[in-house]
């Protein structure tokens, strides 16, 4: 049996986490849902959603940096000779956009656009031979859906927007099967069953999985014969899994092992919001205390 490789990658920087405390993300929408980005790192345009702009509240997009992260990671995969036969991603918009960035970074080309490029710039220049499949079973632990279960954009709508999505794919899990009462053990089992079904249905070729921070653990742990971790260990790994983190699994004779990552880490510094009016502020001590309070809140997230 030839060697197979599976790559699991976390999505890029998301708008709500990058701008949650400042309010710049949500304040970029007016009361009628018209969008005007208030920061250069916010996306210039947004895809139209069947559920309206309010859907971005539970299903946020990538930041501009997040999309750049995904393209650079795709380039690193290409530079290291990684070849992919099948691509699966979580239904979260941030994962779908990360998938597009990865594919573009890997150098796929000649995808026939079916939508207005100005409204979907991310999909320009993709190879229609390498489509991705949306798998709800790869979504993150439902306990984190504090605002309720997201209403994801369905594959047929993504196709209309120009995304190279496989419309005929039959998912391992449907969105209706994801329960808000899901325990951590349930989440591990869902991720494990999704991986098993994907590997069984697509028995040949290398596979790329684009999902969430916890997916690098939950999608691989039981596949390599490990036990479900304690809650403390699970959260330790989660908090030490940055955007675009990547792990690789190899298989010979049907036995899977985790072999690290095929690419180097992706590191960069934090760049805070700049307030030019601080140059004319008299109470810099008060401003400093306010900033320190914001930093303390950020480190506890």
Residue 220 token pair:
């691989």
Angstrom distance (rounded) from CA 242 to CA 263 = 14
List beta partners, residue 181: none
Whether 11 is catalytic: yes
The burial class, CB within 10 Å (0-12 / 13-18 / 19+), for 251 is middle
Q: Which of 14, 122, 190, 212 is catalytic?
A: 212
Angstrom distance (rounded) from CA 288 to CA 53 = 35
Pairing of strands 4-10, 207-211: parallel
Q: Which of 11, 14, 94, 190 is catalytic?
A: 11
Whether 212 is catalytic: yes
User: Which has the closest alpha carbon to 229: 248, 216, 243, 242?
Assistant: 216
Q: Which of 10, 14, 122, 221 is catalytic?
A: 10
Angstrom distance (rounded) from CA 172 to CA 152 = 16
Which residue numbers are catalytic? 10-11, 212
């Amino acid at each position: 049996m030839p060697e197979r490789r599976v790559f699991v990658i976390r999505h890029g920087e998301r708008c709500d986490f990058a701008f949650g405390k400042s309010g710049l993300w949500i304040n970029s929408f007016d009361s009628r849902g018209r969008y005007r980005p208030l920061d250069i790192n916010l996306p210039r345009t947004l895809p139209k959603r069947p559920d309206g702009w309010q859907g971005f509240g539970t299903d946020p997009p990538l930041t501009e940096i997040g999309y750049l992260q995904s393209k650079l990671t795709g380039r690193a995969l290409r530079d290291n000779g990684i070849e992919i036969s099948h691509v699966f991603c979580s239904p979260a918009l941030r994962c779908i956009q990360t998938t597009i960035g990865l594919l573009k970074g890997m150098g796929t080309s000649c995808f026939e656009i079916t939508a207005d490029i100005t409204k979907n710039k991310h999909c320009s220049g993709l190879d229609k031979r390498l489509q991705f499949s949306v798998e709800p079973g790869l979504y993150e632990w439902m306990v984190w859906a504090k605002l309720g279960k997201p209403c994801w954009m369905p594959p047929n709508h993504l196709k209309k927007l120009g995304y190279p999505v496989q419309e005929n794919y039959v998912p391992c899990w449907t969105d209706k099967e994801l329960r808000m009462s899901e325990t951590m053990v349930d989440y591990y089992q869902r991720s494990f069953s999704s991986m098993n079904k994907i590997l069984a249905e697509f028995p040949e070729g290398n596979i790329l999985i684009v999902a969430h921070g916890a997916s690098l653990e939950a999608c691989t742990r039981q596949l390599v014969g490990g036990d479900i971790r304690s809650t403390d260990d699970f959260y330790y790994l989660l908090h030490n899994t940055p955007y675009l983190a990547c792990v690789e699994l190899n298989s010979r004779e049907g036995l899977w092992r985790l072999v690290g990552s095929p690419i180097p880490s992706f590191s960069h510094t934090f760049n805070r919001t700049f307030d030019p009016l601080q140059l004319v502020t008299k109470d810099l001590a008060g401003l400093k205390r306010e900033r320190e309070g914001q930093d303390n809140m950020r480190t506890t997230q």
